[in-house]
Each structure stands twice: as C-alpha cells, then as structure tokens.
Chains A and B, each alone.
Chain A
C-alpha cells in the first residue's frame, strides 16, 4: 500500500534563510503523525507546505500516491484545523461546518446528514444555530474540528489546535482527538510544541529543530532511544538527566561532590570514547531497594532538594556537575543535605557523544 503522505527532499527558504532542510517523512493510512519541536523549528511551516499554503523551494509532496507539490490547496483533499480555529464570524455554526461541502457542490441532503453525524459525534448539536462568537473556546475548537471532519479528506492537518485552551480542557480535548482518531482511522498530521501531546497522541513522532528533522519514530522509540541530546532533552517531563561521565573499560565513572566518583559497571560502554554524556530518565533512578534487576546498580548520593509532587517525589542530587532528578515513591525518607542510596537502571541508559550530541549505543 502506498503511503498516504510522502514528503521527500523537501526544502523551503525565504530568500537566503533556509527554514526547512531536506525533510523526508512518510506515513501510512491511519497514522497519527505528530510534528514536535520548540517554536521556530519549522513545524508549522512544514504543515503549511503540506497544505499547500506555502510554496516549497524544492522536493516533492505526494498525497495518496498523487504528486501534490504544485497543486493548489483547494485541490489537495485535505482538511486543516487551525490554532485560532479560523471560524467564519458571520456564519452560524451549521454554516461553518457545511461551508466546505457547499463549496464543493455536495447536495443538500448529504450536507444535512453529515452535519447531523458530526454534530452528534462532537456533541455540538445544541448550538448549531449560534454564531462562533457565542461559543466558548472548547466549543469553537469542536466546531473547527467538525468543519474538517465533514470533508472526509485524505489527510487531516492540525496546527496546534489545543494551545488556546486552558489546561483542563486541553487534556479533555486531547483524549477526544485520540478517540476520534481510533474511531475514524483517519490519517492525521498534527503540529504541537507540547511533548506530552506528542507522546499521548502520536503513532509516529517527528522531532524537529532549526528546520532539520532530529528523529522520526514511535513515541516509545523517541522516548527510550533518543537519537541525540536535543531529542533526549526535549522529550519527557521532567527532562532526561544528561550526566557527563568517563568511560573506564566496562565501567562508567561519574563525579560527585565531596566523595569519590561513582563507578557503574556497564558492558555496553566497551569501545565508547572516553568522555560521554550518560542519559537516564528520572524514573530510571529509584531509591535503593525499590528497583530490582540485573542492570540495576546502586550508589550513595547527596540529596540537594526534595520536591513532593503528589503521586511521586522528585529528589535532586548533583552528579557530574549537573543537577540530576530522580523520581521516587512518596514514602521516601530522603531529606535535603543527607545521603541516600539511589538505584540506577542501566538497562535504560543512553550514551551520547558530548560534542556532536549523537547517540552512541
């Protein structure tokens, strides 16, 4: 089966400024692709290029096997949901939703049927006759999604659709989008700067920085095996601990203040350069005795800070000159200024080259 969206060698520049460099991505039917990255990384530009709202400088875009590189947006058979909703203020909700069908000359009976279906799906039946101005942010977002849904497009494009909503509503809408994706099996490209949205929604994530793709993979791959320091740092909250370390044969040596360096045995480090960055997620550092396994190794660490966060308690210690966060259970007796035995799960560890940031293992 041909991929539903295939972007190859895409480049985009404004004058001499290159915004997107050599972008290659493809997704299959039913995939949920999330483009994630800090602001200014080019993710929204890439989405606009897919939509045809921005001309591209080089490369090609295929939608369902057809070359859409130079096709006008209206003929690409896509539907886009915008951050600002972009509802038409002078039209009622119903008219907003049916606008796309009307433009395409869909007959009235079909329009009515689809409007009813979508309104029911999104629970907006009660305000079909209202103007967008009379709706709350969440309701407007539903209408904007409804407008895209009735189109039955090949591809849905979402441009940070949740960032104008408050935190609680965002979580709600996030799970609704996920349910919708499951129910419809739609192919979606979704832009966000929120890595939690990316992790929860995506079947495939593209992490971008400075117009360059850093890594493409499933949420698990991105989370567990980040391709470089940027991805490691960007994905996950709290971020992955990135600790400068030295390789000694099959051991890694990490400095700690006021005591001899920690030595951890890990056969994976054999053959790595001497100086590495050791990456370990906060949840892969536990209190000694609470984590078992052949890869788990313990060391006593000085605790600088204890942050109870309800479900977990985060403790911060200084290792290799960096503040390192460990995610402990709530009953921990860790106290600032005291020493605590921490268990490091080296089965989950990532090693990076300090200069290039490239993953080593």
Chain B
C-alpha cells in the first residue's frame, strides 16, 4: 500500500514537472504544419542576434566567474584564517543578494554611476559592461561564497598556510598553489551556478541596455510564436548541462577524497 502510494506520488510529481516540459518541446518542434521539425531551432540558431547575444552572455559569464573567484577565494580564505569571528557577518552579507531584488541593485547602480556622477560608469560601453559584470558577481555571490567556504572547510587551512609560510611561500603563492588547487572543485561548482545565472539573467542586462541573452529571450517571446520555445529548450539544456557538470565534478572530488 505505502509502496504503491509513494510510486503514485512520485509519478504525480514527475508529471507535474515533465508534462509542461514535454509540451514546450513538442510545441517547439511543430513549426511546420502537420509534422515535427527543427525549423524553429534552425531559425533561432541562424539568427545573427541569437549568436551575438549568446556569445556576449557566455563572455560575461566567464568574466564574472573569474572576477567572482578572485573576489571570493581570497576573502573566504582570509576570513577563515584570520577573522573567524567575522564569518557570520560575511555570510550575512553574501546572502543579501538573495534578499535584495536585482532591480533594486541595478537602479542603485544607475543612480550611483550615471553620467553626472563622480564615477560615470554608465557613460561608456566598457563601463556599463563592467557594471553588469559586478552585478552578475553580486547575484552569484551567495552560491560562490558558500561553495568556496565549504571547500575550505574540508582542508586544514591554518596548518597548510603555516606550513607553506615556513617553507618560504608568500601570500600569492599560498593562494595560487596551495589553497586554490584544494578548493578548485568547489570553485568549479560555484562557477557553473554562476554560468547558469548569467545566461538567464534579464533584469540587469535589460536595464543597463546590454545585448545579453536574457533580454533577447524576452524579445523573442514577445514577437515570435515557435522560436521562444526552441530558445527556452536550449536555455533549459544549458542549465541542465551545468548541473550535470557540477555532479560530474563533485563525483571526481569524492573519488579524490576516497583516495586521500
């Protein structure tokens, strides 16, 4: 009885999640009347705007990951090493982006860095791109920080650092050669989440008027019938690929740990 009930609940849950997905995919394949085809996908992939916005977002995602890594790894390391009493404070700060809506952040940016401010970042394309990257880094901060902090928890940061110091290593060497390799897997899983966030982000890119993938998705959705669903499927595949990669990487760590 209980067994049957749990199967029923599982099937219900699966239906709840999978049915809309199937509908979406089915619809994205029915651009040609009366038969399934990849016409919508061909149209999307052939659209120069798709390629442009997609590669722009990929580029931004990579930059955000590098920036986030440079910001978070040393911070988390330093907090663990020297300022353990500040950990609750830092954790709270890194959680703020979950509480403050992106639109508030981006309006704050626009007010602070407009062309008549002391730092007119929105006045140039480069500046606006930079601002967008900072915004993305903020959005991914909760995930990145937690991933790295958890990674640091698995190693004896203090002793490894002291050992490296006594062997003649400076801070850059310690971070680059000792700490980073040990938390690389954690950083990678943080990086994939960041990638997924950046690829789908709409608010910031739209309000800063940058040609990112998120606003393009929205634009297509408002103007085309089949293509948005093809796009949604593509975006969905990207997200799942990222999650799959996280799984894969985590499995590698487990393997590594078992050997340790």
Q: Which of A73, A88, A91, A104 contacts B166 (CB 8 A)?
A: A73
Decide: A84 near B159, CB < 8 A? Known: A90-B181, A103-B173, A131-B260.
yes
Name 20 A/B residue pairs within 8 A (Cβ), A-sorted. A52-B165, A73-B162, A76-B166, A79-B166, A79-B167, A80-B162, A80-B163, A86-B162, A99-B164, A99-B167, A99-B177, A103-B169, A103-B173, A103-B177, A104-B168, A131-B259, A131-B260, A133-B257, A133-B260, A151-B167
Q: When the two chains form the complex, which single residue of B165, B167, B168, B173 contacts A53, counting CB atoms closer than 8 Å?
A: B165
Set of chain B residues within 8 Å of A34, measured between Cβ atoms: none
B236 CB, min distance to chain A CBs, angstroms: 35
**From A75, A88, A157, contact of B182 by CB (8 A):** A88
Determine the chain A residues whose CB is within 8 A of the CB of B257 once the complex forms.
Answer: 133
> Complex formed: what's the CA distance from A78 to B259 in Å?
31
A134 in the interface, Cβ–Cβ < 8 Å? yes
In the complex, the chain B residue whose C-beta lies closest to that of A53 is B162
A153 to chain B, nearest CB (A): 9
Please, which residues of chain A bring their CB within 8 A of the CB of B184? 90
List of A residues within 8 angstroms of B163 by Cβ: 80, 82, 86
A82 touches B167 (CB 8 A): no
Tell me whether A103 and B159 are in contact in the complex, defined as CB-CB below 8 angstroms, given that A88-B178, A90-B181, A134-B259 are known contacts: no
Q: Mark A87-114, 1 if CB is under 8 A from B, else 0.
A: 0111100000001100110000000000
Interface membership of chain A positions 61-85, coded 1 if the CB is closer than 8 angstroms to chain B and 0 otherwise? 0000000000011111011101010
Contact A51 B162 (CB under 8 A): yes
Query: Which range holds the interface residue count of chain A?
Result: 20 to 34
Does A161 reach chain B (CB closer than 8 Å)?
no
The residue from B162, B166, B167, B182 contacting A89, defined by CB atoms under 8 A apart? B182
**Which A residues contact B (CB, under 8 angstroms)?**
48, 51-53, 72-76, 78-80, 82, 84, 86, 88-91, 99-100, 103-104, 131-134, 147, 151, 157
B155 within 8 A of partner (CB): yes
Among residues 143 to 165 in chain B, which have CB atoms less than 8 Å away from a CB atom of chain A?
155-156, 159-160, 162-165
Which 10 A-B pairs give the minimum distances between C-beta atoms?
A133-B260, A100-B167, A86-B163, A80-B166, A73-B165, A90-B181, A86-B159, A74-B168, A103-B169, A53-B162
Q: Once bound together, how far apart are the Cα atoms of A80 and B159, in whole Å?
A: 11
Judging by beta carbons under 8 Å apart, are B259 and A86 in contact?
no
CA distance A79 to B164 in the complex (A): 10
Q: Are the C-beta atoms of A82 and B168 separated by less than 8 Å?
A: no
B123 at the interface (CB under 8 A from A): no
Measured CB to CB, the closest approach of chain B to A350, in angstroms, equals 39
CB nearest neighbor in A for B183: A90
Quick check: is B244 within 8 A (CB to CB) of the other chain? no
Measured CA separation A266–B46 after assembly (Å): 108
With the chains together, A79 CA to B167 CA distance in Å? 6
Docked Cα-Cα span, A111 to B259, in Å, equals: 27
Contact partners of B164 in chain A: CB under 8 A: 99, 103
Q: Which residue of A lies closest to B163 (CB)?
A: A86
Most chain B CB inside 10 Å of its own CB: which residue of A48, A72, A74:
A74
Max chain A Cβ within 10 angstroms of own Cβ: one of B162, B178, B181 = B162
